[in-house]
Structure 1
Amino acid sequence: MTVQLLFYQDAKPVTSDRHRDVSIKTGHSYAFARNVNSVPVTAVEFAQAAAEYPIVFAGTEQSIMPAVILGVKQTENLYVDDAGNWSGKYVPAFVRRYPFVFSSDASGRTFILNIDESFEGINREGRGERLFDSDGQQTRYLKEVLGFLQDYQSRFQRTKRYCDLLKSLGLLQPMQAQFNLNSGERRSLAGFMTVDRQKLKAIDAADLQAMFGNDELECTYLHLHSLRHFANMLERMPASGPDVEDRSEPAPEATSAKAKRETGKATGRKGGDETDVRLPQA
């Protein structure tokens, strides 16, 4: 059984026997996401996510997914403050679905609803929303949760097909972002890919028309334009944070007077501490 994990610590299948008297206190903090530097996003989220986060592609040879970058360090989320508030305007669906998550069998066609039992809002004192009524039937809240996750899973599969297309067309290139901190320390963010602009311009007319018709071309340019937010993200760091210099050719518009990014092909070049973008297995 496969469970999409990242900040899930103790995911268990939701059943009326185990969770009949369980309630979920809503309006909880996002402290659970404080130590993740990236989370997956689906293609339908690109329009909103690209307005404030860098969107990249990451994963394994078998499974590539888009992700938004949230921090430079491995356990850093610049969008969750000390009080657990999410300071960005858009909260990715992967985060909003917590503490619920689907697990799947080996075929990937059967899904079971799970809940992270380590979630601070889970209780048996009736605080918040019940999962089951006194007869063991699903409450309206639980049905809405199931609907949200079913919709998410459908969008996830569509996004996977989009990523498979980018891969089959040879449009993805390994990249790394390098940051020069004011302290003199050098950090690298690696383990992700971006679309190669020149290769995108060179694809044949039939593939281009197909991408346009499926809104995949729009998603691709939203991704490319979002890379400018590496600079905006760094401005969230303390005043002693990094000064980043941009020497990249593909997206000169991604620079700013206060902070700039440096990206280049991942060819084994390292400097200082290197951080990877790692996504959960789907």
Structure 2
Amino acid sequence: MSQHQILDPKTHADLRIRAEAGGELGDGVSAALAVPAEFRRLACEFPLLFRRDGASGAWTALALLGFEPGENLFLAGTRWDAVCRPLSLAVQPFLIGRAADGAGPSQVHIDMAHPRIAADGEGIRVFDADGTPSPFLEEAIEMLGLLDNGYQASADFFAAVDRYDLLEPFSMDVTLDSGAAHRMVGYNMVNEEALAGLEPGILAELHAAGHLAPLYFAVASLGNLGKLVRRKNRKGHG
């Protein structure tokens, strides 16, 4: 169970974080939340797909990391075998907190129940001896800001996606060298035909709002699906 606290240099003066990669440290997931603002960076490594919540109707974007629950094919021992990571994983165990009414400035929180919380002097310091944020924390705060801003901006992106019906259901049968088969269902992808058929005025609108580039990056990222299958074959998973 999560245990969120406002990060404070007095309360957390000796706090240390385990920064290495590991399934047991929160990296053992087959998909990670992504925001449109990071599609450019993620598209070089991961397939970018979409899911719609059946109850709320809200869209989320996901960077695909594996084909089975808990499978992250980009883990290589204690490191990531990729040039980048989705921000939603990179910021752990930190998160953005706000007052219950949503008013006031955002705050940096930390989940003290997260497995990245180090014990016995291991890990990287969050605060220096004088109570100032360590370089590690400063980088985490920067990533939190990018993720939060990207999440806030994603509402307009998905409103435009809905307005012009630019996503369509996606499924894929994956057959491995071992003969094992997996079927990917429940995802959506950018409808290339609908995107290509948009009127110039709509394209200009999407471009001006910053929505067009993420759509094209999501399309381009689908080339990583074949790479992900080959990665799974190399790891010998079936």
Same fold (TM over 0.5): yes
Residue of structure 1 equivalent to 2:173: 178
In the TM superposition, what is the alpha-carbon distance from 1:231 to its structure 2 partner? 0.5
Kindly indicate whether residue 142 of structure 2 is the aligned counterpart of residue 150 of structure 1.
no
Q: Deviations over 1:186-210 (max 9, x none)?
A: 3212221111111112223221111
Q: Separation in 2 of the partners of 1:30 and 1:160? A: 31
**Does the 8 A contact of 1:11 with 1:114 survive in 2?**
no
Q: 2:81 aligns with which of 66, 74, 87?
A: 87
State the identity as a percent.
Answer: 17
Q: TM-score, normalised by structure 2?
A: 0.82
Q: How many positions carry a matched residue from both structures?
A: 231
Q: CA 1:186 to 1:126, structure 2 compared with 1: closer, same or farther past 3 Å?
A: closer
**Aligned Cα root-mean-square deviation (Å):** 2.9
Q: Is the 8 A contact 1:51 1:226 kept in 2?
A: yes
Q: How far apart, CA to CA, are the structure 2 residues paired with 1:48 and 1:35?
A: 21
Which of 64, 67, 73 is matched with 1:72 structurally? 67
Unaligned runs of 5+ in 1: 1-8, 243-282
Greater helix proportion: 2
Assess, with a 3 A threshold, how the Cα gap between structure 1 residues 164 and 76 changes in structure 2: closer, same or farther: same
Residues of 1 paired with 2:14 and 2:157: CA distance?
38
- After TM superposition, give the deviation of residue 120 of structure 1 in Å: 3.7
Whether the aligned pair in 1 keeps the contact of 2:174 and 2:229 (CA below 8 Å) is no
Alignment match, 2:215: 220
User: Partner letter of residue 36 of structure 1?
Assistant: V
Q: Could you tell me which residue of structure 2 aligns to residue 22 of structure 1?
A: 14
1:166-222 CA deviation, whole Å, 9 max, x = no partner? 112111112112212445443212221111111112223221111122332221111
Contact 2:125/2:134 (CA < 8 Å) preserved in 1? no
Q: Which ranges of structure 2 fall in alignment gaps of 5 or more residues?
A: none
**Alignment partner of 1:236: what SS?**
helix
Aligned 8 A contact 2:21 2:27 in 1 = no
Q: Which amino acid aligns with 1:196?
A: N
1: CA distance, partners of 2:165 / 2:103: 28
- The alignment's TM-score, normalised by the length of structure 1, stands at 0.70
C-alpha deviations, 1:113-160, integer Å up to 9, x for none? Answer: 3222233443474963244866xx653555654443233211221123
8 Å CA contact 2:176–2:233 kept in 1: the answer is: no
Output aligned runs, 1:24-173, within 5 Å.
24-25=16-17, 27-31=19-23, 32-60=25-53, 61-81=56-76, 83-104=77-98, 108=102, 111-117=106-112, 118-123=114-119, 125=121, 128-131=124-127, 139=133, 142=137, 145-173=140-168
